[in-house]
Amino acid sequence: MPTSLSFDAAHFMLLSAVAAIFLLAGFVKGVVGLGLPTVAVGLLGLFMPPLQAAALLIVPSLVTNVWQLLAGGRFMWLLRRLWLMLLGIFVGTLLGASVLATDAGGRATVFLGVALVVYAVSGLAAVKFSVNAGSEKYLSPLIGLTTGFVTAATAVFVIPAVPYLQALNLEKDELIQALGLSFTVSTIAMAAGLAQGGALQMEGAAISAMALAPALGGMFIGQWLRGKISAVLFRRCFFIGLLLLGLHLSSHLWR
């Protein structure tokens, strides 16, 4: 009996933590248009392996990103323009799927920390690039493959896809829809990679589905609050928080 009570209490604490994390992650996505996987996997990585965190991410990430993808009217135009990058993301994720599946020494946690640090520093520095149309056909597959490998290693799919999409000088609504398209493909590819490695279990899938409600709730709140606070201040605090989290997760490098 004590064992059962202990198990139930541990299960309740896990579900509560997951719900709180996805509420926060959805809130961030609602305010700034991205960040759900970054925040969710980063915080979940504090008390579970990245492989398990990645599995919990699938349903909330897929639903919120499809929602973001379908919000604009440029889907087919973006698909024709970005298909090489999207193909690269899918292939790179599947090729690198073994990184998370065979991670026994905490390498994925370190990779995740480094990816968060790079993302946070680039965000705080407001680094901006510009890509001309003639370079896209060469850069897009390379960016896609690199993003796929980073996704496979860390379950975070913002580097280098997000800076690259920002460098294409898309209109605001086009950029938001392009991010949704990129994140949707990354999520599907990550799910396929996890399934390929046998990491998608029924219990994890059930918890992932349960995490959808707080993620959507947080996203609604974030969208409501977006027009009432300084986006610049929020983004700065967001990137500082990611920087501290990334430094903590990558601290194994200095041990």
What percent of the chain has pLDDT above 70?
87
Angle at 20 between CA 17 and CA 21, to 5 degrees: 85
For residue 117, give Cα distances in angstroms to 42, 72, 110, 152, 249.
11, 31, 11, 17, 10
User: In terms of residue numbers, what domain contains 11?
Assistant: 2-254
Number of domains making up the chain = 1
pLDDT tens for residues 169-190? 888 788 889 988 999 999 999 9
pLDDT tens for residues 115-149? 888 888 888 887 777 888 788 989 999 999 999 99
pLDDT tens for residues 234-247? 778 778 887 887 88
